[in-house]
Structure 1
């Protein structure tokens, strides 16, 4: 599977080798990481990806992606699916960026590429959530076309759906 390209970004499906580097926090000689990458969240995602690959195989295209700037090819964060679609065709997404890449519209741009890709893969809905006091991801998901569909005392829930 190839990269998903946007105007400024490449969403690169993580390989086992890349996940091992991220989990260890040590890039190989060819890796280009923005300072602060991988974040604690990226390390956690890489470890879960490796566990999934060992147990059931590579989940792509419904796995994690490294977000790279096309201008310098540096890894600035990650975005991806928490797993394959459930019995209703729904997936959950998550993302994170290094601090120096935040506030530049990268997350919304990446999500605007990932949503139609999910739809093209037969997904019927994409879900995400954000804590009430964490407004940045709320702006990201709404900028990409997701709508708030609920909330509880801690979290706001967002989704976008398509018919088959």
Structure 2
């Protein structure tokens, strides 16, 4: 699977080697991790990715991606699909950035690229959610074109759909 390139970012499909480095907290010499990466959620994603690869194979293009700045190639976060599309073509996304990279539009830029990929690969819809008090994440999804579709006592749900 090739990298996804945006104006300021590279979304790099995580490899088994990179996932192992993330779970061990030991980057390769050329890994270029921003301080704070990988966060606890990134380590969890890497662990689930390794389990999936061992049981069902690499889920790409519907797997996890490292978000790297093009300017310095540093990993500033992660974004990806929780699993491949279900029988209806629905996928769910998740993402996170290190604190120093937040508030710069990187997450929305990366999400737009991932939504475009999902559509090109035949997904019917992409879903996401954010805690009620996480207005920044809600803004990211809105800025990428996702719309609020509901909420419960804990989270607000967002989605974007396309005709198949």
Tell me the TM-score normalised to structure 1 length: 0.99
Written as runs of structure 1 = structure 2, the 5 A alignment for 1:3-14 is 3-14=3-14
Structure 1: give runs of 5+ residues left out of the alignment: none
Cα distance in 1 for residues equivalent to 2:144 and 2:91: 16
Q: CA deviation at 1:101?
A: 0.3
Cα distance in 1 for residues equivalent to 2:32 and 2:82: 25
2:161 is aligned to: 161
Q: CA deviation at 1:30?
A: 1.2
Cα distance in 1 for residues equivalent to 2:129 and 2:123: 18
Name the count of aligned residue pairs. Answer: 164
1:112 correspondence with 2:104: no
1:80 is aligned to: 80
Cα distance in 2 for residues equivalent to 1:47 and 1:79: 14
Cα distance in 2 for residues equivalent to 1:153 and 1:114: 28
1:100 is aligned to: 100
2:125 is aligned to: 125
Structure 2: give runs of 5+ residues left out of the alignment: none
C-alpha distance after superposition, 1:118-158 (max 9, x if no partner): 00000010000001011110000000000000001111000
1:148 correspondence with 2:135: no
C-alpha distance after superposition, 1:2-55 (max 9, x if no partner): 100000000000000000000011001111100010011100000000011111
1:23 correspondence with 2:23: yes
Cα distance in 2 for residues equivalent to 1:21 and 1:86: 29
Tell me the TM-score normalised to structure 2 length: 0.99
Measured on the aligned residues, the alpha-carbon RMSD in Å equals 0.4
Cα distance in 2 for residues equivalent to 1:7 and 1:150: 32
What secondary structure, in the 3-state scheme, does the structure 2 residue paired with 1:149 have?
strand
2:57 is aligned to: 57
